[in-house]
Amino acid sequence: MSIRITRGGDEVARGLAELERHFDLGGGTALELAVTKSDTPGFSLRKSGGRCEVTYHDKADFFRCFARLMCRKNEEAFELSGQKKLKKLGVTVDCARNAVPKTDTLKRYILNIALLGYDYLGLYLEDCFRLEKYPKFGYMRGAYSEAELRSVVGYAAMFGLEVVPFIQTLGHLDTLFRHEEFQEVYDIRGTLLASFDRTYALIEEMLKTLRRCFISDRVNIGMDEAYMAGRGRYIEQFGYRESIDIFSEHLDRVAGLCEKYGFAPSMWSDRFIGMKVGAHHLPNLKYEGGKLDGLPKHLNVVYWDYDKTEVEGYLNNMRIHQRLFDRFSFAGSCVKCLGFAPFNRSAFKTNGAAFAACVKEGVEDYLLTTWSDNGAECSVFSALPGLIYVGALRYGEESADGVLDGFSKLLANMDFEGLLSLDLPNSWGGADIRGNPCKYLFYEDVLMSHPMIFTSAEYAESCAASYRILKQKTKGAYGYMFDTLARLVKFLEVKSLLGRDIKAAYDLKDGERLAVLAEKSIPAAIKRLKDFYAALKGQWLTENKLCGLEALDYRIGGVEKRLSYARSAIKDYLSGKTDKIPQLEEARLVDVDRPATVFDAMRIMTYGVY
């Protein structure tokens, strides 16, 4: 299907041409497309034979409408329409937590979200963009050049997508302080030194650089989770002051710099909520006061909340934000920061409830975050089912017949349920109720296994079943993702039980069983680990710049070394070279006063390397 525009469509022509480069639109048949722009929000489409009429309000409407057309390209005649429930919908890509996506990766991401009807892409950057005056800013981090950022912004503009920089101007700058030249602006724990002029010179250089790269007049200045601001070197320099006074003064100065360079700032709301009300994500917060005085006039605050599944919890906290701030938006999440596999199904529950609350309270801007904390072990595209679902929420199509499947087949060449198999390594009996076993069982030291770590033959069996499913999906544009996860569960099928089995055999003085574990099970695990690493490295090099891979090399190399050590320790014990294995002699301590949780498992299993 080739496209010939017969009326209108000037503002979408370049985007359509780009889509024809990347998607099979249906062979050599021609489709005449008549395009009309409307003042009424939403879109409508009528197809009859080789002709199609599209009416749309903005580019997000148009490209979602066109995607719906592509999903049904083999149908001779049909009509459809769509109406947004919220004014703005965006998504962030984390470009700073170890992995820095290649510009081609970001452009593919832009194609996906344009077709899903998103309005903007947030690039979370921290120090991963170059500053001319500060050569160590982003050094050895894969930082973007100005030309790279402009390339991404220009590409997005074809589809009407705004690209918004998300930076940090207070906390979350741990990697910056690796370098001596930034020690003068260091306060404590990855936090900039507020009230210090050279700190604001650095922030000004950030904003000046971003102004040259971005068209958007919006910038997110971060300032989240900076709990210790003013509690380190600040006290030595300026003496003790109340946290809210330091925070408010710093915000004023940063907002002034934003205004100087034509940016309207937004910031995460948690620190203000924490200082005035309590932990921002709790469900039963209470606040009866009035608006916060003295906030910058163009400031938007972002209420982020990622784990509630009931509408009422979100509503309560949104109403507190309404009392405190003149304007706020909301951010939910599709979790992909807890290991090698995502949690898309959980994202349906949390974002479904949050979206309903936003509609009820008239919140106009919804942001879906896809963080990569803890090393970016997960593919940047692994949240695609969550993106599809939230895009459908915006148009009220999450339950519409064939919509989720249609977008999944269009973007990933498989049905929606097949795409959701990305979640399988974290599933246990079909439900994601055990946390992230694909991470804590991956890194568990097999000589220091602990009864608080959830493991069972059931999970090992589920890994075998997951492998068979994932291996069937290793073809196509995202086949490498499924291949990586297939090799992951193949490894975990063996590794997940090793710690438990070694300890049990040792306690029973079962030398025969220990010999089998040392001579067969551990070598099998090491071989499968190497296979997994080869796939993971291929995934990384497909999606990301090279910097950052070294962190995964250290981690996975450590797992291999510990498996090798465990094998040699068992062999030495069995041969009589040693009379015991100290780690296995240690009694496992269990807290009998409360049930174990997944957080216990994550804390225990790695002793600092997690």
Average pLDDT over residues 417-441: 82
pLDDT at 546: 97
In degrees, to the nearest 5, what angle opens at C-alpha 336 toward C-alphas 219 and 118?
45
Average pLDDT over residues 526-554: 98
With a pLDDT cut of 70, the percent of the chain lying above it is 94
Average pLDDT over residues 589-598: 64
**Structure tokens given for 46:** 């009528």
Give whole-number Cα distances, 351 to 115, 154, 355, 480, in Å.
20, 30, 6, 27
List, in sequence order, every beta strand (DSSP E) within 281-327: 300-304
* Confidence at 1, pLDDT banded by 50, 70, 90: low
pLDDT at 605: 52
Cβ distance 429 to 462 under 8 Å? Answer: yes
Strand 365-369, strand 328-333: pairing: parallel
For residues 44 and 56, what is the distance between their CA atoms, to the nearest angstrom? 7
444 by Cβ neighbours in 10 Å (0-12 / 13-18 / 19+) ranks as buried
Which strand (E) or helix (H) includes residue 7?
strand 2-7
* Confidence at 261, pLDDT banded by 50, 70, 90: very high
Question: In this model, does residue 610 exceed pLDDT 50?
Answer: no
Residue 480 zone, left/alpha/beta (φ > 0; ψ -120 to 50; rest): alpha
**Pseudo-torsion of CA 313, 316, 318, 319, nearest 10°?**
170
Single pTM value for the model: 0.96
pLDDT at 607: 42
pLDDT at 148: 98
* Confidence at 456, pLDDT banded by 50, 70, 90: confident
Question: In this model, does residue 600 exceed pLDDT 70?
Answer: no
pLDDT at 429: 57
Average pLDDT over residues 450-474: 87
Cβ distance 498 to 522 under 8 Å? Answer: yes
Question: In this model, does residue 266 exceed pLDDT 70?
Answer: yes
Residue for token digits 């490894």? 491
Average pLDDT over residues 320-337: 96
Residue 181 DSSP code: G
Question: In this model, does residue 452 exceed pLDDT 70?
Answer: no
List, in sequence order, every beta strand (DSSP E) within 172-288: 186-188, 191-192, 218-220, 264-268
pLDDT at 389: 98
pLDDT digits (tens, 9 = 90+) for 486-496: 999 999 999 99
pLDDT digits (tens, 9 = 90+) for 283-327: 778 998 999 999 999 999 999 999 999 999 999 999 999 999 999
* Confidence at 594, pLDDT banded by 50, 70, 90: low
For residues 590 and 382, what is the distance between their CA atoms, to the nearest angstrom? 36
Strand 88-94, strand 186-188: pairing: unpaired
Q: CB under 8 Å, gap of 24 or more: what pairs does 70-75 form?
A: 70/23, 70/25, 70/115, 70/410, 71/402, 71/403, 71/406, 71/407, 71/409, 71/410, 72/47, 72/406, 73/1, 73/25, 73/26, 74/26, 75/47
SS3 state at 10: helix
pLDDT at 451: 72
Question: In this model, does residue 601 exceed pLDDT 60?
Answer: no
H helices, E strands: number in the chain:
21, 15
Question: In this model, does residue 431 exceed pLDDT 70?
Answer: no
Question: In this model, does residue 432 exceed pLDDT 70?
Answer: no
pLDDT at 598: 56
Largest CA distance in the chain: 86
pLDDT at 608: 41
Which strand (E) or helix (H) includes residue 254?
helix 243-260
* Confidence at 604, pLDDT banded by 50, 70, 90: low
Average pLDDT over residues 68-95: 96
pLDDT at 29: 73
Question: In this model, does residue 543 exceed pLDDT 50?
Answer: yes
pLDDT at 603: 56
pLDDT at 478: 97
* Confidence at 176, pLDDT banded by 50, 70, 90: very high
Question: In this model, does residue 26 exceed pLDDT 90?
Answer: no
* Confidence at 428, pLDDT banded by 50, 70, 90: confident
pLDDT digits (tens, 9 = 90+) for 134-174: 999 999 999 999 999 999 999 999 999 999 999 999 999 99
pLDDT at 602: 57
**Structure tokens given for 13:** 């022509």
**Structure tokens given for 481:** 């993702």
Q: Which residues contact 343 (CB under 8 A, 6 or more apart)?
A: 334, 335, 336, 423, 426, 432, 436
